[in-house]
Structure 1
């Protein structure tokens, strides 16, 4: 971090101190973390408390918020105090809303309106809040890209503008389009930022600073550290531009795209524990368990009655490994079979295994293989590990080599694990090994190992555009199945509530091919946890799956 010049408004503050953007983002996050539904009343109360601690005289309170806080202290209803707030204060504070509402647009929009109401209850402000929250919700999707995030923001702006007190406003989705255009036309990052500053602007109006933030996201190609540094240096309402762009890129690419030295410095200067906040926002299962009486078996028992017999755990980096394994071992003690699923995002992506990432990838996978060897010898359990072909910007030939070398190593590292190579969904701009049935089958047949088989993800087939069943040879190689639904916006990994994946037809085809293996309902916890009556929806899904599995062909 570099100190600002003496003429800068923030020159007297410690390096790394945050502004109202971050403070209000955390304020909303903490309301959600307490399990409260966002309302104008509890958001207003939190804002007043924060203001009392920080003082109205600070430079870091925007004009709409400052005016509304005075009225709130005078006893005006928080549903009225924001009806003249047209600036970007709604957009700057909604990151947590996007995280916890991934896949549930209606609830996302309701939360944005509630969070905006006390200070920014106008159509201009709410279009900004909805755009940012929708972008972050999309960024939480495993298949998201910069392009899909920007498209989600534009859809959110259109819907957000339908709410709040009437105010003049430029259609934000059009300004986002303009900002992204200038970002892409720049010959380097600095040129892109200058064009955004000159032609879009970075003032308090959402049509300037919020649109500019999306231009920064595009110019940074989704890298969080690059986006934050670009945002704080672009000029104008820099903290808001950087806060929004950083939140979107962080959701898109995770902690790996952040400079950890800067994160630690900001935490130390401000007394934050940002990791704890992030973990709480993205970890839904304690809330599921709490809703079922506070015990794991209390949550699982109704699902078991509906047909659940095994659980599949997503592998996590080293710092989360012990927590995940403790939960898995508890499930084993309760009598459930357990399997594991490797994420196809970094750092578990096998790209580079045949070259520069060989040792790094080995270290990531070694703990799960060691655990499986232990379970096999002590409890006679033989879990499956679902893995994916390498993907990235390198050539298809190199990625194929990475995949073959990785699978060869994995089959020698463990003598008990059943490895399942899963078909991948498409991702624009990337090469992927395993996007087609033929690619997956070629690798499995080429290695010709009794512990290497196919995991068929039925939802990925829909995203890939398949309408016909795979070949008989492919079906006979399947030993593991992932079932999940896709909502009407194209977001996947939901319980079976939308009817957009033809899983019944696929399961029946597998039965005709004498399938023997695990059928897993794979859901995205961030999305599923926001569905109403989640446990009942899960139980209903298992009941439907069991009926098809048990029916004769």
Structure 2
């Protein structure tokens, strides 16, 4: 599923926001949130079954063919090993797609007070479908970004430098653990490299990037290492007005900027929406946008249920 970026940007500009059904991003995020709430924590078997059931009940949500192969294998094996089918993909190297990252936001909310457990579950939930280091490390980075956005004071001036420094410290340590060094830092530590590039263009020598430059520097495809950084960049850049689109609301700016980059627009916008939403809260999301979200009432109930559960611990 790819949203035509010109169509969406024109819709924003005219105020005619077209209703769109959610894609696999939201479908799997709902599964993860529901599983965490019902099981009061991470349960790989339950989550694998929810993902698979959701797909077979509503397969036309834009799922990639590789993750569908995982669901079929899980179903055939009766979920005997929730992590097994994903390990077998791509001659045993696993997928480095952004599927683990696109759905991870509930983990950041559930364990926002327990960093170690949050990072552990961010990796484990990703490994059900994505076992390449870039796949699960992308999930970790996205989870960290949502968590730090949630814990930031949205009423105070936003400190991009401090936010990026926190992410850089974590990802440098994480990517250093399981790497076989080459001569190319972009291969060894792709997320760390992207965050360093982000620091340079946003903080050290600030300059605006065109949509094409953003795509070239941070990516816009289905791989985690070429989409998660793009979402983070869009969130950070959205705190100031955009040169090509007039909007007072920073959440709207983040979504519009992410879509303008093109490529895997639904997933990149989902990820930046999770980060920006965690920072600004529901009051920062225009009701005109909320009204066009499929299953809004169910999502709000999941959020309320998770808040009650996490608040009790």
Q: How much does 1:165 deviate?
A: 11
2:225 alignment counterpart: 207
Alignment of 1:31-180 (within 5 A): 31-55=35-59, 58=60, 60-75=62-77, 77-83=81-87, 84-143=94-153, 145=158, 147=160, 148-158=162-172, 160-161=174-175, 170-179=189-198
Offset of residue 234 of structure 1: 1.7
Alpha-carbon shift at residue 284 of structure 1 (Å): 4.4
Q: 1:179 to 1:5 in 2, by over 3 A?
A: closer
Match of 1:246 among 248, 264, 273: 273
Q: Could you tell me how far apart the structure 1 residues matched to 2:188 and 2:131 are?
A: 13
Q: Whose helix fraction is larger, Structure 1's or Structure 2's?
A: 2
From the superposition, tell whether residues 79 and 233 of structure 1 become closer, same or farther in structure 2 (CA, over 3 Å). same
Identify unmatched segments of 5+ residues in structure 2.
9-17, 88-93, 181-186, 241-249
From the CA coordinates, give the structure whose radius of gyration is larger: 1
Deviation by residue 1:96-155 (Cα, 9 ceiling, x = unmatched): 111121131111022112211210122111111111111111222244745344333334
Map residues 421-432 of structure 1 onto 2, 5 A cutoff: none
User: Alignment length, in residue pairs?
Assistant: 275
Q: Secondary structure at the match of 2:128?
A: coil
Query: C-alpha distance in 2, partners of 1:224/1:201?
Result: 21
Q: Once the 2 structures are TM-superposed, how far is the Cα of residue 38 of structure 1 from its aligned partner?
A: 1.2
2:303 to 269, 275, 278: 278
TM-score between the two structures when normalised by the length of structure 2 = 0.76
Q: Is the CA contact (8 Å cut-off) linking 2:126 and 2:139 kept in structure 1?
A: yes
SS in 1 for 2:84: coil
Do the aligned partners of 1:182 and 1:215 also contact (CA within 8 Å) in 2?
Answer: no
Q: TM-score, normalised by structure 1?
A: 0.45
Name the structure with the higher strand share: 1
Does the C-alpha gap of structure 1 residues 221 and 108 become closer, same or farther in structure 2, counting only changes over 3 Å?
same
1:235 equivalent in structure 2: 262
- SS, match of residue 68 in structure 1: helix
Aligned to 1:218: 236
Q: 1:23 to 1:5 in 2, by over 3 A?
A: same
Unaligned runs of 5+ in 1: 9-13, 289-528, 530-553
Cα contact 2:172–2:189 (8 A) shared by 1: no
What's the CA shift string for 1:504-538, capped at 9, x where partnerless?
A: xxxxxxxxxxxxxxxxxxxxxxxxx3xxxxxxxxx
Distance in 1, Cα, partners of 2:5 & 2:153 = 42
Q: Which has the higher contact order (CA 8 A, sep 6+)?
A: 2
